Amino acid sequence: MSQAYAKKSVLWDWLTTVDHKKIGILYLAAGGFFFALGGLEAMLMRIQLMFPELGFVSEQTFNELLTMHGTTMIFLAAMPLLFGFMNYIVPLQIGARDVAFPFLNSLGFWLFLAGGILLNLSWFLGGAPDAGWTAYTPLSSAYSGTGIDYYVLGLQISGAGTLIAGINFLVTIINMRAPGMSMMRMPLFTWSSFVASALILFAFPALTIGLLLLMLERLFGATYFAVDMGGNVVIWQHLFWIFGHPEVYILILPAFGIFSEVLATFSKKRLFGYSAMVFATLIIGFLGFMVWAHHMFTVGIGPVANAIFAVATMAIAVPTGIKIFNWLFTMWGGRIQFTTANLFAIGFIPSFVMGGVTGVMLATSAANYQFHDTYFVVAHFHYVIIGGVVLGLFAGAFYWWPRMFGYKLNETLGKWFFWLFLFGFHLTFFVQHFVGLMGMPRRVASYLPGQGLDGLNLISSVGAFFMAVAFLLFVWNVIVSVKNKAEADPWDGRTLEWGIPSPTPEYNFAQTPLVRELDALWYEKMHGNGKLKAAEPLDDIHMPNGSILPVIMSIGLFIASFGLIYHVHPVTIIGLLITFGCMFVRSIKEDHGYHIHKEDIQKEEGAG
């Protein structure tokens, strides 16, 4: 039965949707909420560190804020926000009507949300996790409070959703490209999403195993990390960083893809060195996976291992440098438009290079003994993540907002936002390099006066306020720009997502496009009639049905987690029965989807 005309409430529609575009928007909404939450946690920490020996929050609360800020920003904000863009844009860029597994796509989102909510409920149910976002053992296995149980189970559920999403993107990009779109004609954002998804496939199982061992140790008395029982605490560090280092590249590579799209579009030029950019992305992905032990130079893995991982880490600077130069050459001689999206892309280049330079310093294993666990590492990490990923997210937001929501964000407000945020960012983190070099350890709730740290910490906290105000300006921009309706191709775009009507039709493309060259839409503008060529006659389009099962399955695991945390095993069994029951129903229920008829498509395309 067709659901195309079934009357559904708005809430039910969003709860049951398997449309990649709506799921992309759900990822953006949830990720934006967690981004604001993580930012609030950071602000509370910066207030505490504004002055020496300030008692704004207790040491225990500071530890919880520290842990939750890192965990939230990495797992619940940066990744979901990137998944939001990947969900919405990648199928459009490859000329597909959906992702390969729409049901799993929905399940991935609801698992992420269930895990995120579970983790944050710990604030109200006995205390948040307090062992740092890395949750090093034995601190996390033997000495921390119940918050770590929320950490373990929340990240397990959320991580399962991420793994599902990664596999889905891999299959989608391999199998569902439009006719003529070879791998070497894919836009850079799709390429970087592809490599990031491959990293997810290999990296997340290590985290899953680590969390499973930690869960067994905390909840069932296993002794994997208990040294007096023959365990080894370094196992956790290996497992965590086999996931943790590729995670940086899982975040940064899609951001690189966004910058490539934005810089080419607003320079009115083809991306310089496309092939080199693709191979640099692949090499960064490979090397990024192989250098996890540079986080463990001071653990005692030996000088030979330290040297090998130091050299491998420094080697990443080569493909990254290729990318930087290619972006600069893309702008060279171009007709550059200084839109807000492009300002974020241009601002990213020097910011990220600074993070890269301190990365090479940290990769020098002998020097790393001095930098390790000081604010120098905090400064480096934030220069890479904010200077790369967050600036990329904002560039992507301003660039793709008209495609996703049908209206343009206000450019004047956008530019105020950009300058305030960039100024605040550098003010906050540049001085932290010097705070670190002066010996201030990270993860501490206070410091003594008279050590030369007072003024620099105050400057850093003031910078954080600039960033917070800038973010509020962005939120205001989203609200007041609603009436600023945009046409289908407001930036004179180059790739397929700009070749369809606005708002984006449910079926994406009335006819699957024929891709004749890299930057398919631009090619048709220059060498065709300006419209995408069709690879098939207009016909009925098959679409998948929505389903509420992903929501119920996620609720089942959410309930089971409470049973495990509080050792109430009947609750665990009920939760698991709900989840497995849904899997059973999904397995036996025949669902053939529905068709959007040709006449309705003609009517909608005519209206569009």
Condensed to tens digits (0 to 9), the pLDDT of residues 479-502 reads 999 999 999 999 999 999 999 998
pLDDT confidence of residue 343: 97
Answer yes or no: is 4 within a domain.
no
Positive or negative, the Cα torsion across 112, 116, 119, 122?
A: negative
Q: Does residue 116 sit within a domain?
A: yes
Reported as a pLDDT band with limits 50, 70 and 90, residue 476 is: very high
pLDDT in tens, 557-575: 999 999 999 999 999 999 9
Q: Is 488 exposed, middle or buried (0-12, 13-18, 19+ CB in 10 A)?
A: middle
Amino acid at 142: A
Asked, for residue 345, whether it belongs to a domain, the answer is yes
User: Which contiguous run of DSSP H or E holds residue 533?
Assistant: strand 533-534
Q: Which domain holds residue 256?
A: 20-547+591-606
Asked if residue 562 is part of any domain, the answer here is: no
Q: What's the pLDDT band for 236 if we cut at 50, 70, 90?
A: very high
Label residue 3 by pLDDT band (50, 70, 90). very low
The domain tally of the chain equals 1
Confidence at residue 257, expressed as pLDDT on a 0 to 100 scale: 97
The pLDDT assigned to 605 comes to: 79
Lowest mean pLDDT among 1-15, 210-224, 282-296, 325-339: 1-15
Closest CA to 286 of 372, 195, 153: 195
The answer as to whether 401 is a domain residue is yes
Domain containing 89 — which CATH number?
Answer: 1.20.210.10
What does the pLDDT read at residue 5? 47
Residue 406 lies in a domain: yes
Give mean pLDDT, residues 459-472.
97
Query: Do residues 270 and 326 touch, judged by C-beta distance below 8 A?
Result: no
pLDDT band at 7 (very low <50, low <70, confident <90, very high): low
For 126-183, the pLDDT digits (tens) are 889 999 999 999 999 988 888 999 999 999 999 999 999 999 999 999 999 999 999 9
Would you say 330 and 271 are in contact if contact means Cβ atoms under 8 Å apart?
yes
pLDDT for res 70 = 96
Averaged confidence pLDDT in the chain: 94
b (16+ CB within 10 A) / e for 399-431: bbbbbbbbbbbbbebbebbbebbbebbbbbbbb
Whether pLDDT at 607 is above 70? no
Give a yes or no: residue 512 inside a domain: yes
Q: How confident is the model at residue 2 (pLDDT cuts 50, 70, 90)?
A: very low
Predicted local confidence at residue 52, as pLDDT: 95
* DSSP letter, residue 237: H
pLDDT tens-place string over residues 507-542: 999 999 999 999 999 999 999 988 899 999 999 999
User: How far is the C-alpha of 30 from the C-alpha of 116, rounded, in Å?
Assistant: 9
In a domain? residue 357: yes
- C-beta separation of 176 from 168 below 8 A: no
- The model's pLDDT over 251-267, given as tens digits with 9 standing for 90+, comes to 999 999 999 999 999 99
Task: Give the closest residue to 87 by CA, choosing from 492, 390, 343, 396.
Answer: 396
Q: What percent of the chain has pLDDT over 90?
A: 88
pLDDT in the model for residue 526: 94
Residue 300, pLDDT score: 87
